[in-house]
Amino acid sequence: MPVAKGTPLDPGRTREALLSTATDLLYRRGLDGVGVSELCTAVGASKETLYRHFGSKEGLVDAVLAARSDRVVRWLTEAAHAAGPEPAAELAAIFDALATWYAEPEFRGCAIVNAATQRHGAPARPAAARHLGRYLTLLTDIATRAGSDQPQRLARQLLMLIVGATVVADHHDTDGRTAAYAKQAALDLLAVATGREGEPA
């Protein structure tokens, strides 16, 4: 049966369903861990539909990573903004958000970084560079508003902490305190970089 009885036949919705299922499956099993056929079966679509929407598996991966980066960056940015205008509070909020992420049973690290690690080339690698660049923009803004004398340096240090915490939480989280440790380190680095070293714990 080519198309079900009451299907709304909405290309946009079909594309979204493909994207959603692909995001989930590719994250859980890796880019090479799930084939196009299985993906189509899981979403209830045909291969022709997938290739009409995304052109190739690489195109699908590209779309998945772009959407995921948008979602993650927006999520962290909103978490930071909601924590008020204090840079330290925003930073703390970011790591608190990361803590809830790490605690999810489905957590497997950062999908974009993972993808770039699996396929050291297009489209994953440029996507990861862009993704980390967006992180850096967010962190540089916080570092600047905190009064750091070298906001770019502090931002890059904080980026390393976030990325490192994400990888460690994925592969070596012994007690679930990874994000909390990273948060304290981030606040320490912020304090050092802004000259206030003797803050109350």
Residues that bind DNA (CB under 7 A): 1-11, 13-14, 32, 34-38, 44-49, 51-53, 56-58
Q: Which residues inside 172-191 make contact with a second copy, applying CB under 8 A? A: 172, 177-178, 181-182, 184-185, 188-189, 191
120 binds, among DNA, a second copy, none (CB under 5 to 8 A by kind): a second copy
4 binds, among DNA, a second copy, none (CB under 5 to 8 A by kind): DNA
Q: Which residues of 113-147 are buried (b: 16+ CB within 10 A; e: fewer)?
A: bbbbbebeeebbeebbeebbebbbebbbbbbeebe
Supply the minimum distance, in Å, between the C-beta of residue 187 and a second copy.
10
Say how many residues touch a second copy, by CB under 8 A. 47
Minimum CB distance to a second copy smaller for 49 or for 184:
184
What angle do the packed helices 151-171 and 178-193 form, to 10 degrees? Answer: 170
How many other CB atoms are there within 10 angstroms of residue 79's CB atom?
18
Cβ(163)–Cβ(110) below 8 Å: yes
CA distances from 27 to 31, 41, 112, 150, 181 (A): 7, 17, 9, 36, 26
Minimum CB distance to DNA smaller for 120 or for 172:
120
2 binds a second copy (CB under 8 A): no
122 binds a second copy (CB under 8 A): no
Supply the minimum distance, in Å, between the C-beta of residue 55 and DNA.
7
